[in-house]
Amino acid sequence: MKKSPSQCFGERNTEGTTSSPSIAIGPQSGLSRRSFIKNVAGAFVTVNVFSLASGIAARASEGTWEPPLGRDGWMGPPGVANARIDGYAKVTGQKIYARDYHVSDMEGWPGTEAPVMIIRAINVDDAFIGLDMSMLPPDLRPERVIYGEQVEGKVELTNTIIHDQHLDQVEDRMRAAQKKRLESGSSTSETEGITLPGDFMWPFIVPRGAGAAFYGQPVAFLIFKDRATYLGAKKKIQFVDSFQQYGAPVKDPLIPPLSPLTNYVRVAGDGPEDTFSYSQNGYDDNYNEEANNYRRQIEQAIADNTASSTWKAYGSDFSMQAMDPMFMEPESGLGWYDASTKTLNLVVGTQSPDGDIGTLLGMFEDSEISVSTVNLFSCYPGGGFGGRDSSVFTLNLGIAAVMSGGSPVRLAYDRFEQFQSGLKRHACKGTTQVAFDTTGKVQALTSNMQFDSGGRRNLSPYVAQLAGVCAGGSYNIPLSAIFSEALYSTNVSGGSQRGFGGPQAYFIIESLFDEAARDFSVSPFDIRRTNITGPGDRTVVGGPITQSLQFGNILDMAEADPIWQNRAADRARWAREGLSYGVGFAVSNQAYGTSGDGVLAAVAMDAEGNFTVRTNAVDMGNGSATTLAVVIGETLGANAERVELGNADLWDALQMQYGSKNGSWDDNNWTPKSVGSSSACLTAFHQVHAAVESAKALFDCGIFPAAQALWGAGANDLKPSDTAWVDGQLTVKAGGFPGLTHKQLASQIMESGGVSSVLGHAYFQETWAKGTFSVQGTSHTWGLDGIALTYGANNSFTPNYRTSVVRTCPAASSYVRTVFAPCGNLIGVTVDPRTGDVVMRASASFLNAGKIHVEGLVSGQSQGGVAMAMGWTLLEDMPPGPEGPASGDWNLNRYFVAKAKDVPLDQRLITLTPEGDEKTGRGIAEAVMCSVAPAISNAIYDATGARMRDLPITPQKMREALNG
């Protein structure tokens, strides 16, 4: 008998909302399952989401297993986690990653799995002709070879630019748009009416006779009958270039910069309002024309004032290499298309289950292949960092599944394949000039950045956009002109890597500030004190800063830190070993979230009084599951027993509309944005808000009414605020009523058909939208704009639309970012003048993370950010083109990431105490990383006098710099 994957977790079945799945995964499997219906081009598709990454701690409540950390296992008192909720499974090696699963684990799946090998383009100059199968002996040949032309009509591209329009016409119009843009400095190519490429602008598989659009684009899928054949064939053809055959040269595709382009020009006014800025003028019809006029004025002001010695300007070119996220689990998954029931089954670990399902279903619109049901098994990703956000992997798995002839397939990249195909951090080139007056006050900045997006768009233009926000650093700059764009190339695609453009932008501005400090003969802290931004100032976009940033405290703490105070002694000590020692400092003001974020969470109470939190988000290791489990503790008197992740069905259960084309705030079932991909920086503030507000709603309209009923008529006048949780019981602060256990309350809810769970959606854009809802005749207001409820033991959600809403500020839509997690990094390095080796010796990070939910998670994220950034700065290098990982023969023997021994144990994280009434966390996953590279570079300058502007800072570059 085949094992169910969930048997490893001992999960309970929490059957879903609408319909039963059509495959044979029965209740005995214990899988968490939820279902919903999607309308795809007029056809209804049932999507069943099975959360393999859910409720790992649930065994404790089943009474069949004694958790290792005491009665409550990972769980501490309400609001406290003693360990990760997923920690026991991870430290005992349980099956939780997609790579852990095989067809033999999948109940109801037929036969054995067919391994899939994707052959990827190593030539983008010539037409792909085919594969030389003569290199494989007959017994090692694949059962099926899938070329690009064979999937046409079966899997549709979500963007049909190449098919819908004559390429020559497109190219002519693109050239015209490009020319106009360059002449005018216009930031948009859309003025010419061109439909710019979407996320997937090229065929999934290159058809024979056509040229590949980028290195690593699939040219064929090989489906083998079994593992032995697959492994045997792999030995014969992997790393053998001649297996792929190419013919005549092909024309280079001409693709304009990817939309949207980023053009932020700001001219501060004499008063609180700007003379001109994107946030103020961005909706003007002639914004770009006006912006470019101001840009020229700013450039002229810098030229004039530096010529007259009124200002001093510091500027240079910078370059940064692409970087592989190198998450530890190479992308892997299982797929099976059951033609008899038109059901597509997928086992994957993705950061974007909602988006992946949407894109996947889009592939089968108008397709010869009919898909009426999708069963998605969502696993814990073994790392992500953005590399699994809108990755093509899930789509490739889907293609292989429907093209296999009925066999279940397994697609499991090895590390070479992952390097060749996985999303990268963008290579970036930038030119920036920053001008100060004679007092050291920054007056003006111009910045121009280009990001190499590679062959697919992915989230590249938005990475460039956030880099534009970051280009002005953490400073109040009266005049700024920033242009940032993502450019198509034939390189492996870039994506939304940790930091999202921030590391590149901060490396530039923080290097230049250090240069200025040296020239002004002031400390790195003083030059920043003179210019640092804070509440009342505006960003380079023109948006107001309203949060407490605490940069003053960050600068004071860094200056007092032993790394800085003891630098002279440390310099002398290292000199005795023949090494040059220096200390560098840099700050960042990394934003978290996006320009507008929709998030959701469901909080449910079961008949035993235990709580479950469900979310569409996934936990890439950043601790979302643990955090969401404990943040409801204060409101509900207990932490969640289980957290279910990757629930792509929850949005649909709300039955809301979203997007400007489908309504407005006047419609009580509308919100600007549904949900986005999972991002580590969205947990502490955004996802936590949705969970806490949903917990409040559950308390207000479910638990409190149940308590009133149990307490009797004398409790009619009580308000929720009159109660408090004491030792696991709900009590009345003033006394007079008996304490009630969760079990008692749950029984009352179940018997009375009261509200047993709340699914809440929240929207943030500078502020949270606040909705008022009528529930069972009582009006409530929460930081939610939509809810759905379950009653009693009925698990089906019923939408409960709001009656009114306090909407977010309309102007905030143009602020781009409004919330920030400031951080300073103080780093000491040694440089070996003989070898050029740079070694990080000590680091201290000073972070404003707001309220800390789980300290162990925050410091772990911080230390990880330091290590990854150190690798990017000093170790990790990959050339573009066929010399890089696109060749298919790159691995960790030539791509060096920081090992345990490379990272100093003297890493300290100092988190700032929240100011005022700040009660929320801040998304910090990326914040610490952003200023590490410039801090290292500035430390190198302190040690050697060499200014390094080209990453990575390899020993060879260091030697060249030292030797002139």
Partner 1 sequence: MADISFILNGTGVTASANLSDLPLVDFLQEDQGLTGTKFCCGIGVCRACTVSVRRAPGAPPEVLLACSTPLSQMAGLEVYTVESVATDGMLHPLQEALLKGFAFQCGYCTPGFLMAAITLWDRLKAAPIPASALDAAIDQAIGDHICRCTGYVRYYEAIKQAILNEGGLVS
Q: Which of 101-109, 359-367, 628-636, 764-772 is the region at the interface with partner 1 (rule: CB under 8 A)?
A: 101-109
Say if CB 229 and CB 137 are below 8 A apart. Answer: no
Q: Indicate the residue among 7 and 165 with the shorter CB distance to partner 1.
A: 7
What residues from 400 to 419 belong to the interface with partner 1 (CB under 8 A)?
414-416
> What does the alpha-carbon distance between residue 938 and residue 825 come to, in Å, rounded to a whole number?
11
Q: What are φ and ψ of residue 874, in 5° steps?
A: -115, -30
CB of 598 to partner 1, least distance (A): 25
CB of 889 to partner 1, least distance (A): 11
The contact pattern for partner 1, residues 201-230, with x = CB under 8 A and - = no contact, is: --------------------------x---
- Reduce the DSSP state of residue 16 to 3 states and report it: coil
CB of 905 to partner 1, least distance (A): 6
The contact pattern for partner 1, residues 290-329, with x = CB under 8 A and - = no contact, is: -----------------------------------xxxxx
CB of 789 to partner 1, least distance (A): 34
Among positive and negative, which fits the CA dihedral 146, 152, 153, 156? positive
424 binds partner 1 (CB under 8 A): no
CB of 131 to partner 1, least distance (A): 23
User: DSSP secondary structure string, 733-781?
Assistant: TT--S--EEHHHHHHHHHHHT-EEEEEEEEEEESEE-EEEEEETTEEEE
Q: Which of 96-104, 142-150, 337-345, 938-946 is the region at the interface with partner 1 (rule: CB under 8 A)?
A: 96-104
* Lookup result for tokens 């005749």: 777
382 binds partner 1 (CB under 8 A): yes
Residue from 43, 897, 910, 962 that binds partner 1 (CB under 8 A)? 897
What residues from 72 to 91 belong to the interface with partner 1 (CB under 8 A)?
74, 82-84, 86-91
> What does the alpha-carbon distance between residue 541 and residue 831 come to, in Å, rounded to a whole number?
38
The contact pattern for partner 1, residues 131-160, with x = CB under 8 A and - = no contact, is: ------------------------------
Q: Indicate the residue among 532 and 857 with the shorter CB distance to partner 1.
A: 857
> What does the alpha-carbon distance between residue 590 and residue 855 come to, in Å, rounded to a whole number?
20
CB of 901 to partner 1, least distance (A): 3
Q: What angle (nearest 5°) sits at the alpha carbon of residue 589, between those of residues 587 and 593?
A: 145
CB of 167 to partner 1, least distance (A): 40
Beta bridge partners, 675, equal: none
Say if CB 113 and CB 230 are below 8 A apart. Answer: no
Q: Which of 45-53, 145-153, 485-493, 887-895 is the region at the interface with partner 1 (rule: CB under 8 A)?
A: 887-895
Q: Indicate the residue among 811 and 897 with the shorter CB distance to partner 1.
A: 897
Q: Indicate the residue among 663 and 904 with the shorter CB distance to partner 1.
A: 904
* Lookup result for tokens 């969970």: 691
Q: Which helix (H) or strand (E) holds 25?
A: none
CB of 396 to partner 1, least distance (A): 19
Q: What angle (nearest 5°) sits at the alpha carbon of residue 904, between those of residues 902 and 906?
A: 175
> What does the alpha-carbon distance between residue 622 and residue 624 come to, in Å, rounded to a whole number?
6
Q: Indicate the residue among 734 and 900 with the shorter CB distance to partner 1.
A: 900
Q: What are φ and ψ of residue 583, in 5° steps?
A: -125, 135
CB of 384 to partner 1, least distance (A): 8
Q: Indicate the residue among 527 and 620 with the shorter CB distance to partner 1.
A: 620
Q: Indicate the residue among 326 and 527 with the shorter CB distance to partner 1.
A: 326
The contact pattern for partner 1, residues 32-71, with x = CB under 8 A and - = no contact, is: ---------------------------------xx-xx--
User: DSSP secondary structure string, 293-326?
Assistant: HHHHHHHHHHHHHHHTTSEEEEEEEEEE--B---
Q: Indicate the residue among 378 and 489 with the shorter CB distance to partner 1.
A: 378
Residue from 12, 34, 95, 817 that binds partner 1 (CB under 8 A)? 95
Angle between helices 932-944 and 955-962 (to 10 degrees): 40
Residue 686: C-alpha distances to residues 107, 732, 766 (Å): 36, 31, 12
> What does the alpha-carbon distance between residue 217 and residue 463 come to, in Å, rounded to a whole number?
22
Q: Indicate the residue among 2 and 573 with the shorter CB distance to partner 1.
A: 2
Q: Indicate the residue among 653 and 898 with the shorter CB distance to partner 1.
A: 898
Q: Indicate the residue among 9 and 246 with the shorter CB distance to partner 1.
A: 9
Spacing of C-alpha 435 from chain mean position: 34
Q: Indicate the residue among 327 and 941 with the shorter CB distance to partner 1.
A: 327
In the numeric block, which tokens belong to residue 379?
Answer: 């696993």
CB of 360 to partner 1, least distance (A): 24
Residue from 12, 34, 102, 528 that binds partner 1 (CB under 8 A)? 102
Say if CB 139 and CB 230 are below 8 A apart. Answer: no
The CA-based dihedral angle spanning residues 157, 160, 164, 166, taken in that order and rounded to the nearest 10 degrees:
-120
99 binds partner 1 (CB under 8 A): yes
CB of 114 to partner 1, least distance (A): 14
Residue 715: C-alpha distances to residues 696, 698, 735, 737, 744 (Å): 19, 19, 11, 8, 16
Residue from 94, 165, 566, 729 that binds partner 1 (CB under 8 A)? 94
The contact pattern for partner 1, residues 577-606, with x = CB under 8 A and - = no contact, is: ------------------------------
Number of chain residues interacting with partner 1 (CB under 8 A)? 70
> What does the alpha-carbon distance between residue 819 and residue 547 come to, in Å, rounded to a whole number?
7
Q: Which residues contact 242 (CB under 8 A, 6 or more apart)?
A: 132, 135
> What does the alpha-carbon distance between residue 189 and residue 170 come to, in Å, rounded to a whole number?
12
Q: Indicate the residue among 374 and 858 with the shorter CB distance to partner 1.
A: 858
* End-to-end CA, the chain: 70
* Lookup result for tokens 């010695």: 309
Q: Give strand ranges (E) for 783-906.
A: 786-791, 798-800, 804-806, 820-831, 838-847
In the sheet with 311-320, reading across from the earlier edge strand, the strands are 274-276, 262-268, 479-488, 442-454, 428-437, 311-320
Q: Indicate the residue among 94 and 767 with the shorter CB distance to partner 1.
A: 94
CB of 683 to partner 1, least distance (A): 12
What residues from 819 to 878 belong to the interface with partner 1 (CB under 8 A)?
854, 856-857, 859-868
What residues from 616 to 675 belong to the interface with partner 1 (CB under 8 A)?
620-623
Q: Indicate the residue among 140 and 620 with the shorter CB distance to partner 1.
A: 620
CB of 622 to partner 1, least distance (A): 7
What residues from 352 to 381 belong to the interface with partner 1 (CB under 8 A)?
380-381
CB of 572 to partner 1, least distance (A): 24
* Lookup result for tokens 């083109």: 881
Query: For binding to partner 1 (CB under 8 A), which residues are involved?
Result: 65-66, 68-69, 74, 82-84, 86-97, 99-102, 104, 227, 231, 325-330, 380-385, 414-416, 620-623, 854, 856-857, 859-868, 891-893, 897-901, 903, 905, 907
